[in-house]
């Protein structure tokens, strides 16, 4: 079940939210916890019911492991290491078995086959979520938790499929808090959900066309020209931004309606002036998880610069692998690892200060280039896109430009190696104008949390002040505008044009 599907918006949401709120206001908190837990399982099972038992077993296993660790029965960390190993083994089997066997066959010239299992929805998220929980149990950071609260903590439908990676201490206590500000929570949550819906159905849908045209064309042997390559990569750069931002907003909005606040997971990452800042803004909870449960245990920065840089490379390479079972994801993670390494070294040695304008665009272009293997289906396709970006497949302008430009100017372009032909991804000046406007949207406007900072939609809402015009205030004018936009979005929902979220595949 997707957040932007008709069944979710017109059936699941109108039933679950009032039922949960009624139980939370009128009955013992355990009733509302059970209602929300059952609803979350229905939400998960709608996608593929055969993986509901897997989710159940994973939750039960880790809960009882955690309770044993809380009781200090694990003197030598044997239970902890075994439980972490079993969790990772489960993740490896479902997510990486095909990659392992394919590479094993290629290296040793074998022909071993296996009926590869389908990837259970959200397995990367609920596995990491629970590893963090049992590790904290072993360190004495967790008090005894009821099974129902733990079950809801893992299965809570707004974050179950694609995050954020919520920490237990942030979410579990909220399940038993008294519900306050009902009207405000529902109205603000609904508006934030609507903003995410707009990003998903309108903004990401627009840039997905030119992105898919270029990358799918490369997969089919259509090599991109310089213009096509850069338009396609820029389109995907905006696509993954709007897609992930949309999911984050919708998850935050849904939780807010239920009186629960999730941590901020997406904070205008394309406003970053270096790669370190980018990773503090992009998938914030994953960055925190990798830092606390991988980078620091590896030694962090405690054993000199060389070990620190090696740890960064290891963590980011594994972060890439976490995103997908393919060498393209490993390459993407490694590129970011090297960029972070360069950034840390540059800052430590204080080589020289780069102008903010230059550092901003240098960072953004680096991020764009790094997205290529993330989107590409193979290393070969990645290389071909890079070749296109550097002009190895020519500089081609649309055929009709040959009629627009003066004949003398066309002759000059032809002498410079510019050709006129059909382009796979470039749609003309209107497309360029819209892409520029979308760039301004992500680089200049405040994000959702900043607009609604007064209402604290997340646990760590940005407190930076913005002009009154860009902060939400309830009034008749805003209500009319929202009503018109929501009506349009509901029509799009009924049409069911948009696909799943990119992060669903992880």
Asked about 283 being catalytic, the answer comes back as no
Number of Cβ within a 10 Å radius of residue 96: 16
**Contact indicator for 214, 224 with CB cutoff of 8 Å:** yes
Helices (H), 78-162: 78-91, 97-108, 123-138, 147-155, 157-160
- Helix H, strand E, coil C: the string for 328-356 is HHHHHHHHHHHHHHHHHHHHHHCCCCCCH
Q: Could you say which DSSP state residue 384 is in?
A: H
- The catalytically annotated residue of 167, 168, 323, 336 is 323
Task: Answer whether 157's CB lies under 8 Å from 85's CB.
Answer: no
Give the H or E element holding residue 396: strand 395-398
* CA–CA distances in Å: residue 479 to residues 203, 261, 295, 456: 22, 24, 47, 20
d(CA 143, CA 260): 21
10 Å Cβ neighbour count for 358? 10
- In degrees and rounded to multiples of 5, residue 395 shows phi and psi of -115, 105
Q: Answer for the pair 370, 336: CB distance below 8 angstroms, yes or no.
A: yes
Distance, in Å, from the CA atom of 20 to the CA atom of 258, rounded to the nearest integer, reads 8
Residue 506 CA neighbour count, 13 Å, CB half: 20
CB 493 within 8 A of CB 6: yes
Per the DSSP assignment, residues forming a β-bridge with 418 are: 395
CA gap 128, 357 in Å, rounded:
37
Cα dihedral value 483, 487, 490, 495, nearest 10: -160
- DSSP sequence for 258-300: TT--BPP-B--GGG-SSHHHHHHHBSHHHHHHHIIIIITTTTT
Q: Which residues are catalytic?
A: 323
């Amino acid at each position: 079940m997707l957040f932007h599907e008709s069944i979710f918006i017109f059936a699941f949401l109108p039933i679950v939210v009032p039922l949960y709120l009624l139980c939370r206001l009128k009955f013992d908190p355990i009733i509302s916890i059970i209602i929300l837990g059952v609803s979350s399982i229905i939400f998960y099972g709608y996608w593929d019911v055969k993986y509901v038992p897997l989710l159940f077993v994973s939750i039960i296993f880790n809960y009882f492991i955690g309770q044993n660790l809380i009781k200090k029965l694990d003197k030598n960390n044997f239970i902890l290491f075994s439980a972490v190993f079993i969790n990772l083994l489960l993740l490896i089997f479902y997510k990486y078995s095909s990659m392992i066997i394919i590479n094993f066959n290629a290296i040793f010239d074998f022909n071993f086959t296996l009926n590869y299992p389908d990837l259970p929805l959200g397995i990367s998220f609920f596995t990491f979520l629970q590893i963090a929980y049992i590790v904290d149990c072993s360190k004495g950071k967790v008090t005894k938790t009821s099974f129902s609260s733990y079950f809801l903590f893992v299965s809570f439908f707004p974050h179950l499929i694609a995050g954020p990676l919520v920490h237990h201490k942030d979410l579990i206590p909220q399940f038993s808090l008294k519900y306050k500000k009902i009207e405000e929570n529902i109205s603000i949550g609904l508006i934030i959900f609507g903003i995410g819906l707009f990003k998903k159905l309108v903004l990401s849908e627009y840039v997905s066309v030119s992105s898919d045209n270029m990358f799918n064309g490369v997969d089919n042997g259509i090599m991109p020209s310089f213009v096509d390559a850069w338009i396609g990569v820029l389109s995907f750069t905006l696509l993954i931004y709007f897609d992930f931002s949309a999911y984050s907003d919708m998850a935050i909005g849904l939780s807010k309606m239920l009186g629960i606040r999730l941590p901020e997971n997406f904070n205008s990452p394309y406003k970053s002036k270096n790669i370190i800042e980018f990773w503090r803004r992009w998938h914030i909870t994953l960055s925190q998880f990798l830092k606390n449960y991988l980078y620091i245990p590896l030694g962090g920065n405690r054993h000199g610069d060389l070990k620190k840089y090696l740890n960064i490379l290891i963590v980011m390479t594994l972060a890439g692998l976490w995103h997908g079972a393919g060498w393209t994801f490993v390459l993407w993670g490694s590129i970011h690892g090297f960029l972070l390494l360069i950034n840390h070294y540059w800052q430590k040695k204080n080589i020289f200060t780069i102008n903010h304008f230059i550092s901003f665009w240098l960072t953004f272009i680096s991020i764009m280039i790094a997205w290529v293997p993330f989107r590409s289906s193979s290393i070969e396709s990645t290389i071909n896109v890079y070749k296109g970006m550097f002009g190895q497949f020519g500089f081609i302008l649309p055929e009709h430009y040959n009629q627009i430009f003066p004949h003398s100017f066309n002759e000059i372009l032809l002498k410079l190696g510019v050709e006129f032909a059909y382009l796979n991804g470039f749609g003309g000046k209107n497309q360029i104008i819209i892409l520029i406007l979308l760039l301004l949207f992500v680089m200049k406007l405040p994000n959702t949390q900043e607009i609604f900072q007064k209402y604290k939609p997340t646990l760590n809402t940005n407190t930076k002040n913005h002009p009154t015009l860009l902060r939400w205030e309830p009034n008749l004018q805003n209500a009319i505008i929202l009503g018109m936009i929501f009506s349009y979005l509901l029509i799009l929902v009924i049409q069911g044009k948009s696909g799943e979220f990119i992060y669903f595949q992880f």
